[in-house]
Amino acid sequence: MPNKKISLKPIAQKSPVKKKPAVIEKYAGPTDGKVRCAWCLSDPIYVKYHDEEWGNPVHDDKVLFEFLVLESFQAGLSWLTILKKRENFHKAFAGFDVKKVSKYDEQKYEALMQDAGIIRNQLKIRAAINNAQRFLEIQKEFGSFSNYVWSFAEKTKAGQPKPIHNSRKSLREVPPKTAVSDAMSKDMGKRGFKFRGSTICYAFMQAVGIINDHIDDCWRKKN
């Protein structure tokens, strides 16, 4: 009995369902009506940092060490990149315990170089460890790191340090460095600090409130 011929009809192929690309809504900025420095308006992380930290006078050595580390890692990058990794830096650098960081050895350095949560730059990591050691030397000489860095601030009539309040109409008027940051950078260089150029020092001084560079119309400046 001959085999039946089987008619092979092509199976209709279903067109693949095209996925619509995810729509990423651009942050429109804060909606509370407050006037802020223009640099912080692009991201809610920036806004929170601007409103709660930037320009606040800091005298706590632990916080000062944190900003010293973060500002050195920021060199060549955006500050937003650092803020997004801030918690990772906190874990990697022992909660910014300067004594612990000062004792980081080669094994710890290698571990940090494998930590994808931070900026894996060998010079910056080694600088952070070196700067922790120099930080301790400053504390021993001046009583605290705060006493040292605030010596670059303005002084009251009684000789007490006070923030340098600048008048800025817009972000364009804020310089990348000044004679004050030049002086701090030069002195820190003599003391063996790394990644402490004048621009980094100026950003550090802004962050910890030694310099107040909020624009004149900013609600933080007025408060």
Residues marked active site are found at: 49, 71, 79
Nearest to 163 by CA among 56, 62, 61: 56
Task: Return the bridge partners of 161, or none.
Answer: 155
Any idea what the Cα angle at residue 187 is, between residues 182 and 191, rounded to 5°?
Answer: 145
Main-chain phi, psi angles of 74, to 5 degrees: -75, -20
CB-CB contact of 64 with 149 (8 Å): yes
The token pair at 75 is 């060199």
Residue type, 37: C
Task: Specify burial of residue 195 (Cβ count, 10 A radius: 0-12, 13-18, 19+).
Answer: buried
